[in-house]
Amino acid sequence: MSIFIIAEIGINHNGDIGIAKQLIDVARHAGADAVKFQKRTIDTVYSKGELDKPRESPWGTTNREQKAGLEFGKKEYDEIDGYCRKKGIAWFASAWDMDSQKFLRQYDLKYNKIASAMITHLEMLRAVASEQKHTFISTGMCDMEMIDRAVEIFRKAKCPFELMHCVSAYPTNDEDANLNCIPVLRSRYHCDVGYSGHEGGLAVSYAAAALGISSLERHITLDRAMYGADQAISLEPALFIQLIGGLRKIEKAMGDGVKKIQDKEVPIARKLRSHIQLESHK
């Protein structure tokens, strides 16, 4: 089974549909299977006090102006939907509130995503599971009891899902990645397990691939120096291309696990073991 590769655009578009389209092009060119966005109703997700706090940004001097500047509405998502269909790449989004999940239902999306922060929002989990779409469930900031409840909800609804091992630190240090959770989650829940990474570089993602993940999600950006909290943990186009190339090589290299003499080894074995046959006839 090929690793399903998700290019997380998130809010790295900085509220600009042109940048969003460029990032979709990057993902498509690199060979990603899907791009993912984030959808929020800012007055639901953030308190008035939080939104009223001062914050310098390209959109103004308050948190509200910054959050609103980063948020796409129907006009932009209509364009994204049409552009992804034109380019032949799937798209979906992680909703951070119930209204945002309802908003996404107007599009014929194949996938849903539960962000790590939302895994304790049981009403949201039930709503997503009721849609019966294949759902990626990130497990950052979670203990096993939290994951138990989420899995129970999706199994009860008979909704297809896979877990994604994740550490919600931005960036995630290599020593904190705890990749051995991948086989632990697979054994405990008897389901596919992917990896959502926030580390710098590629080595940890390559190691996750060697552990048999079913999906991989990494943030992408046009330039890590751009404005935005997620830009610094994202992969620029050249590195994202390198990541996918490496992943596909790892998939081929893993093989089927059956130890046998391969066809390409037969003439080599005949040559390098010829003296053994001569010795045995003496």
pLDDT at res. 280: 64
User: DSSP string of 105-118?
Assistant: TTS--SEEEE-GGG
How far is the C-alpha of 80 from the C-alpha of 74, rounded, in Å? Answer: 10
Determine if the peptide bond prior to 171 is cis (ω within 30°). yes
User: What are the backbone angles phi and psi of residue 251, rounded to the nearest 5°?
Assistant: -55, -45
| Residue boundaries of the structural domains of the chain | 4-281
User: Helix (H, G, I), strand (E, B), or coil: what is residue 196?
Assistant: strand
Q: Average pLDDT by consecutive 10-residue portion of the chain (282 residues)?
A: 96 98 98 98 97 96 97 98 98 98 97 98 98 98 98 98 97 97 98 97 98 98 96 97 98 95 95 82 60
pLDDT at res. 281: 62
CATH number listed for the domain at residues 4-281: 3.20.20.70
pLDDT at res. 1: 77
What does DSSP assign to residue 53?
A: S
Q: Max alpha carbon distance in the chain (Å)?
A: 92
- Give the ranges where 131-236 is alpha helix by DSSP (H): 144-156, 181-189, 203-210
How far is the C-alpha of 61 from the C-alpha of 103, rounded, in Å? Answer: 28
How far is the C-alpha of 129 from the C-alpha of 142, rounded, in Å? Answer: 19
